[in-house]
Amino acid sequence: MQAMGSASMARAPFGALPERTATAEQSWLGFDGFFTCAIMLAALFATQLGSYIGVLLPGLVALFGYVRRERMPELVARTWLILSLGGFAIFSAVWSVLPSTTAYYGTQYLITLLGAVMIGSGCIPKQALHGLFIAMAMHSAATIVHGFSSGDLNLLHPYDFGYVGYAGSKNTNADMCCLGAFVGLTMSRSAWRDGNRLLSVMALGLVIFDVLIIRSCHSAGADAAGVIGAVSFLALSGLHALSRRGRNGLMIVVLVLALSAGTTRTYWFEPLFKSYAKSSGKDDTLSGRTYIWSRAEVQVRKRPLLGGGYTAFWVKGKLEPEAIWEKMLVASRIGFNFHNSVYDLLVSFGYFGLAFFSMVYVITISSLILNFLRREYHISILFVVIVIYELVRFSWEALPTGIFAHNTLYIYAALGHAGGVVHGASKSVGLPLESPGKMRGLIVRTRRVDVASP
């Protein structure tokens, strides 16, 4: 035992808890939870914050970097591949049609990625989950109050028009509530397993209210992806009851089916989605998306290899974006995109950039699944479900390149979690995927052997 303890001193394995964080781990929220809640709230209410978001979110990232400065070297080492996407966005200023614009917004994108990996890899997992739960609950409560006060929301009998809430868009509002529902499900599961039945029921209340808001948004994309995410959550929640061999076998089957579905999606997904969209009142152009995509193809043909540079297209005064804004009735001339992640990447970075982003996604998603199979924190299921949910939405929303956006934080927090947790946890933070009979001995063994000062 002594030899094993000495060996673990050299490099604590994934999930080990350094001695000096043992006290902080017992806190229900702590600084990590406060940081997660604050940065997510800032992203959820970015429209209301306006230009202040450009100060608040980087300020929170800087605050975490200072307070948890002992974690930063390992955090960067674990998540450098994700952070390299931000570096690539900045570097695209070299060939950008608007170099200064690309460099400026590329830096903000890198800050957003850094904030995301701080949540997924740099925070104590359970405190991060609690922070997300508080943020999403506050957002849902504010959305309901706003809807009742404005008369735009009827939870039991939705109106014919989509409810936009504070998001400014019914699709964005529905997306936020879908993510809130996933957080509520995860929080309910975590609280139940920890013996806190009251909190578990309260978290289910968040899920119910979010589902009612989603119904009022009339967002076909969020409805479809949300159902798939909910089914995935239920399936993944039952994995802890299987043996390790059973979990691995089931995941192999799921991955084969997912790969087969992905390679043949041209033949089944678009017809199925259009049929669903038509039944829910959508037009054949998917709310004008087909027109936007045709304009994106024109831009890709102009600069196919490297694209025009990050954020260099949507600029006021340029002929092409102005024509799209006018066609889509976007009076503000800001905050628009191609509503397709692949087109968004191609226009900004070309086929080289698309290949680079795809490589990073394949590596990190594979690592996330493997780590989930080996050791489960309560928040791990949430991150796997979010990846599944966002992959479903990849074809009709621009997800991976948003600045100070809630989607960007959630996606890259999940992918950052794939690298492991810098200051991991023992029992009160997350439970390994082991059978109940082996759980108690495993926790004791972890505390005796793995706990070491770095």
pLDDT tens for each residue of 8-20: 334 333 333 333 3
- What does the chain come to in residues? 454
Determine the Cα–Cα distance for residues 209 and 141; give it in Å rounded to an integer: 9
Q: How far does the chain reach from its first CA to its final CA, in angstroms?
A: 19
Determine the Cα–Cα distance for residues 32 and 124; give it in Å rounded to an integer: 6
Determine the Cα–Cα distance for residues 220 and 226; give it in Å rounded to an integer: 10
- The angle that helices 341-374 and 378-393 make with each other, rounded to 10 degrees, is 150
Q: How far is residue 182 CA from its own chain's centroid?
A: 11
**Higher-scoring residue by pLDDT: 217, 447:** 217
Determine the Cα–Cα distance for residues 155 and 147; give it in Å rounded to an integer: 9
Q: What is the pLDDT of residue 76?
A: 96
DSSP one-letter code for 239: G
Half-sphere exposure of 266 (CA within 13 A, CB side): 1
Q: What are the tens digits of pLDDT across the range 56-95?
A: 999 999 999 999 999 999 999 999 999 999 999 999 999 9
DSSP one-letter code for 120: I
Nearest in space to 130 (alpha carbons), one of 21, 17, 40, 14: 40
Which tokens belong to 104?
Answer: 């400026």
Q: Which position has the token pair 């997800």?
A: 399
Determine the Cα–Cα distance for residues 100 and 311; give it in Å rounded to an integer: 10
24-33, 100-109, 160-169, 281-290: range with lowest mean pLDDT = 281-290
- Contact between 450 and 11 under an 8 Å Cβ cutoff? The reply is no
DSSP one-letter code for 403: S
- The angle that helices 30-44 and 406-417 make with each other, rounded to 10 degrees, is 140
- Contact between 248 and 310 under an 8 Å Cβ cutoff? The reply is no
369-373, 387-391, 407-411: range with lowest mean pLDDT = 369-373
- Contact between 246 and 433 under an 8 Å Cβ cutoff? The reply is no
Q: What are the tens digits of pLDDT across the range 181-210?
A: 999 999 999 999 889 999 999 999 999 999
Q: What is the pLDDT of residue 10?
A: 41
- The angle that helices 170-193 and 378-393 make with each other, rounded to 10 degrees, is 160
Range of the domain at 412: 2-450
Per the structure, how many domains does the chain have? 1
Determine the Cα–Cα distance for residues 410 and 420; give it in Å rounded to an integer: 16
pTM for this model (two decimals): 0.83
